[in-house]
A and B are shown apart, each in its own frame.
Chain A
Amino acid sequence: MSSLISENRQANSWQLSHLLQRLHIDAPLMMGLLLLLGIGLMMLYSAGGQDMGLIVRQLVRMGMALMAMLIVAQINPDRMRDSAYWLYGFGLVLLLAVLFFGHEGKGAQRWLDLGFFRFQPSEIIKLAVPILVAAFLAERPLPPSAWRLIFGLMLIGLPAFLIAKQPDLGTAILIASSGLIVLFLSGIRWRIILTFLGTCAAAAPVLWYFMHDYQRRRVLTFLNPETDPLGAGYHIIQSKIAIGSGGTFGQGWLQGTQSHLEFLPERSTDFIFAVIAEEFGLVGVALLLFLFLLIAGRGLFIAGQAQSSFARLLAGSISITFLVYVFVNVGMVTGLLPVVGVPLPLISYGGTSMVTLLAGFGILMSIHTHRRMMSP
């Protein structure tokens, strides 16, 4: 009897994993993501003043984003590689369109209004850049030659520049880093990397010397927002109080005073990490960061297992960019980094970036689950 049950179980679990494979879903990644999304909803409920409407809207977005992920996961990585130039070109045209016909929201031109819905072309570029750079570099033996490296840098620089002009510095930085990570993974020599970093470090004081006083002041406020307590610094001061008052174990869910007295600005979006830190303390945020690392780790594992250089580069870039996202946001909220408007991935309220992020994870799943079919 008991053996029958266990056999039955085995059959069930075999059927489940078979089903997941058929749907091109990677189970560990999926579990990690669902857990993260769940935490996100829970925190949003608290940060948004227990507004169910907010939760429902976010749930709808999550549903759409998961759908996008599943659709992307069905696409064979080879198809992605083949259409990389088209996707990139399309994204670039839209970026230019935004520059000329874009809608202004919060003082920056990022939106393109297509009548029935509005979206940010920079989201397409977020995926197009790593896909194209990976496809381009994988065409030839790695590490890439000098001119391919330069061409790759141009592929990254052009959209990053257009987006920085919108102006959306945060997204531009993320896009540039997703491309640069591909370059790094492709094995360019350490000497080149170190020379590049060294040149940047050397250029900074020279640039500083040629700047006007007001430009210097602006850079200083950017680097240290606390010198501007009525503007950017206000966020940081309040955010640090919220985080610090969380202590080791936090004030408990729905108990954070800073956030509930509406003292912390942008608490459902860019500064939601401060709410988590206030309510769940050091232990809570450490676990959350660990979860982020686990998800990215699974992504890196997929990259290591991938069967083509293109897939390796792409999967690696997507995983590490995800961590860069987290680091830029958490660094900003804790006052380690300057304030650039980057949300906490998959947790912050807001839809556009969630679709792109989960589509990125769709690519990882596609790479992993199309593996056997690619092998000879």
Chain B
Amino acid sequence: MASRFTLKDHFRESRLINGRLIFAAVLSVLVFAVVIVRLVVLQVLEYEHFDSLSNRNRVDIEPLPPQRGLIYDRNGVILAENIPTFSLEMVPEKVPDIEQTLNELSDLLALTADDVSEFQQRLNRHRRFQQVVIRQRLTEQEVARFSANRHRFPGVDIEGRLIRHYPQGHLFAHAVGYVGRINERDMQIIDQQNYKGTLQIGKTGVEKEYEDDLHGDVGYRQVETNVQGRIVRELMSVASHSGDDLFLHVDINLQRVASEALGDYNGSVVAMDPRTGGVLAMVSKPDFDPNSFVSGISTKEYGTLRDSPDRPLFDRALRGHYPPGSTLKPFVALAGLELGVVTEHSKTYCPGWYTLPGHDHRYRCWKHYGHGHVDLKDAVAQSCDVYFYDLAHALGIDRMHQFLDLFGFGHRTGVDIPSESRGLSPSKEWKRGSRNQAWFPGETLISGIGQGFNQTTPIQLAHATSTLAMRGVTTAPQVVRASRAAGDADMQLRNSNNVHSLPMENSQHWEAVIDSMVEVIHGARGTARHVGEGMPFKIAGKTGTAQVFGIAQDEKYDAETLERKLHDHALFIAFAPADKPEFVVAVVVENGGSGSKTAAPIAREMIKQHFGIIEEIDEQPDQ
């Protein structure tokens, strides 16, 4: 209370403040004296040095872009390399009249309007003292023609650069992906310092996912340049550090077999080593030539690719959504066993159709006259729909959804390639959340045979099959097997660290389901009997046929009268050997008709290639 009324002693306060003011003034003068000393050092003592730097020549700092890491398949075959090309480049601040220079260059080298407009865009992004590419991949004649006229174009020069090349062309368009010119969006996310002098950046596939490993670290050199901007001498340099080389799990031979076996069909084949999660083949068709993207694809060419109804740019392996059809049945069967809804030996009667209690809608089996009494093994081997309608009804959609969750249906597999799709494994909650609709019991039935809302990607199918093959050990698919830092002799393995085991009550359940899948291939009534012929081991598999076109209750599906794009999708999953799995394959053939006729033979080719089986038996198509 007392202090509130303390009178301020103005005299004492002003003396106090004035003292501090004087102190501050003296300090300021001292600080400025330091600045003056600094200026004396720069302008008097080091004058000679700086004068020589500024007057006659100018100091330029040039980035030295690192060499991008190479990509190999598992056999050491090169999938992505760097080849030397010549590109025409300009340093804008050294060009007196950019407009005129461009006009004259157009006459000399036949630049297109596209070239010029793209150059203008790049020009705006770069600082005036940085090199900007006018045109990449000059031919030798163009190089010669420009060299003869070089004196006319100060600030413009030919630069030898390495650019990305994909010697396998179409074959790895989706898996390895491609690099392209760095665009505005890329600029936001990269460390711009480190990309000085780099023209390309990974856009898709391995090239994108492993951009940080592949790119390396930029170096630079300080050079003296004369008035025309030509380098006189190098003052100092710090070398760049090349990116890491990558070694993939992918086997080029398998990749080729898959691609050729798909033929003209659109679709996807994914093969994995279930023990490591290593992706041995990953094909999506149709494909395209990734080399077109490297130095900037022309608008017209890009338009053709983008607008094609077959969507070649779309990576079906990772993003194609397909109903799994009957390939889902082994997983549903396992759910039934595990949750105690059925046993290995319990039987269901299939009259060719199924009705829900209290309804008269007939859910049909693919076999019109029915399978009679079937147990689990028969049901999987002959792909009996009625058995699975009944099983799904007993399980209920939510329990089925929960169980399929364990195998990754409706989830990204975590493969080391970007922009994977999630697929869809329906549940009551999902339907309420996304469609605001109640779940109907009939939808449970068709979900049980992999139709309806179910959507899976080929990589998901392969991943789930791999988990099944390994009796519950699930490993995220991995495309890159190892990397090797520049200058190192040793490779560093990149194991998938995303490994875990599924909890399962009874290990006998795995064997029951796998046995039923062996029956698909080797059983007397299996739907894919031709696959196992002449094989030295047992194969487990499952065919699937996914409806594209809904047919009415009483109509019969007739391939003859339907357009090809309305034909069913053909699916097939398999692994071999059934008892000690080393190889998993999932095949999706768009509009391929039936899984057993179109998809299964592709899997057979893959298994033959992988295990090196050469046999002379004539391939006779089975019914």
A residues sitting closer than 8 Å to B (CB atoms) are 140-143, 181, 184-187, 228-231, 234, 237-238, 240-248, 257-258, 261-263, 265, 277, 281-282, 285-286, 289, 292-293, 296-297, 300, 303-304, 309, 312-313, 316, 320, 323, 327, 330-331, 334-336
Question: Which of these, B31, B38, B59, contacts A241 with CB under 8 Å?
Answer: B59
Bound form: Cα–Cα A300–B21 in Å: 7
Would you give 25 A-B contacts (Cβ < 8 Å), ordered by A? A141-B6, A184-B24, A185-B24, A187-B20, A230-B63, A230-B218, A238-B59, A243-B43, A244-B49, A244-B54, A245-B53, A247-B44, A248-B47, A257-B55, A263-B93, A277-B39, A282-B39, A282-B43, A292-B32, A303-B21, A309-B8, A316-B21, A323-B32, A327-B35, A334-B39
User: In whole angstroms, how far apart are the Cα atoms of A335 and B43 in the complex?
Assistant: 13
The answer to whether B8 touches A141, judged by C-beta atoms less than 8 angstroms apart, is yes
A142–B35 touching, CB < 8 Å: no
Residue contact A244 to B17, C-beta cutoff 8 Å: no
Q: Is B32 a contact partner of A293 (Cβ separation < 8 A)?
A: yes
Quick check: B17 and A312 within 8 Å, CB to CB?
Answer: yes
Indicate whether B58 reaches chain A with its CB closer than 8 angstroms. Answer: yes
Q: Closest A-chain residue to B33, C-beta based?
A: A289
B16-41 to A contact mask, C-beta < 8 Å, 1/0: 11111100110011011011101110
- Say whether A309 contacts B38, CB under 8 Å: no
List B contacts of A265 (CB < 8 A): 127
> In whole angstroms, how far apart are the Cα atoms of A229 and B21 in the complex?
41
> Please, which residues of chain A bring their CB within 8 A of the CB of B50?
240-241, 243-245
Whether A185 pairs with B54 at a CB distance below 8 angstroms is: no
B51–A247 touching, CB < 8 Å: yes
Are the C-beta atoms of A320 and B28 separated by less than 8 Å?
yes
For B8, B39, B51, the residue with the greatest tally of chain A CB atoms inside 10 Å of its CB is: B39
* Residue with the highest number of chain A CB atoms closer than 10 Å, among B36, B54, B58, B222: B54
CA distance A300 to B26 in the complex (A): 11
Contacts of A335 in B (CB 8 A): 38
B35 touches A330 (CB 8 A): yes
Give bound CA distance, A289 to B93, whole Å: 32
Q: Chain B residues with Cβ under 8 A from A297's Cβ? A: 25
Cα separation A297 to B8 with both chains bound (whole Å): 28
Min distance, Cβ A164 to any Cβ of chain B, angstroms: 22
Could you tell me the distance in whole angstroms from the C-beta of B233 to the nearest C-beta in chain A? 16
> Which residues of chain B from 115 to 140 have any CB-CB distance to chain A below 8 Å in the complex?
127-129
The answer to whether B14 touches A309 (Cβ under 8 A) is: yes
Please tell me which one of the listed residues A234, A309, A320 contacts residue B24 in the complex, with CB atoms under 8 A apart.
A320
Do the beta carbons of B35 and A282 come within 8 Å of each other? Answer: no
Q: Contacts of B218 on A, CB cut-off 8 Å?
A: 230
Chief secondary structure at chain A's binding surface:
helix
Q: In the complex the two chains form, what is the Cα distance from A185 to B93 in whole Å?
A: 49
**In the complex, what distance in Å separates the CA atom of A254 from the CA atom of B277?**
69
B220 contacts partner chain A, Cβ-Cβ < 8 Å? yes
Q: A247-B44, A282-B39 are in contact. Are A261 and B220 (CB under 8 A)?
A: no
Contact between B59 and A237, CB atoms less than 8 A apart: yes
B405 within 8 A of A: no
Shortest C-beta distance, B477 to chain A (Å), equals: 31
- A245 contacts across to B, CB distance below 8 A: 47, 50-51, 53-55
Using known A-B contacts A241-B53, A297-B25, A316-B24, determine if residue A289 contacts B36 with beta carbons closer than 8 Å: yes
Top 8 nearest A-B pairs (CB, nearest first) are A244-B50, A245-B54, A187-B16, A282-B43, A244-B42, A185-B20, A312-B17, A245-B50
Q: Name the contact of B35 in the complex, choosing from A258, A303, A312, A336 (C-beta under 8 A).
A: A336
Contact B58 A261 (CB under 8 A): yes
Q: When the two chains form their complex, are residues B193 and A228 in contact, meaning their CB atoms are under 8 A apart?
A: yes
B17 touching A229, Cβ below 8 Å = no
CB of A309 within 8 A of CB of B25, answer no
Known: A293-B29, A312-B17, A327-B35. A230 touches B196 (CB 8 A): yes
A230 touches B61 (CB 8 A): yes
Give A167 to B150 CA distance when docked, in angstroms.
Answer: 46
For the complex, what is the distance from the CA of A186 to the CA of B61, rounded to whole Å? Answer: 49
Complex CA–CA separation, A309 to B16 (angstroms): 10
Chain A residues whose C-beta falls within 8 Å of the C-beta of B40 in the assembled complex: 282
Contact B38 A334 (CB under 8 A): yes
- List of B residues within 8 angstroms of A228 by Cβ: 193
Given the known inter-chain contacts A185-B24, A244-B51, A300-B25, please indicate yes or no for A230 contacting B220, CB distance below 8 A.
yes
Residue of A with least CB distance to B38: A334
Judge if B10 is at the interface, Cβ distance under 8 Å.
yes
Chain B residues lying within 8 Å of A140, measured Cβ to Cβ, are: 3, 8
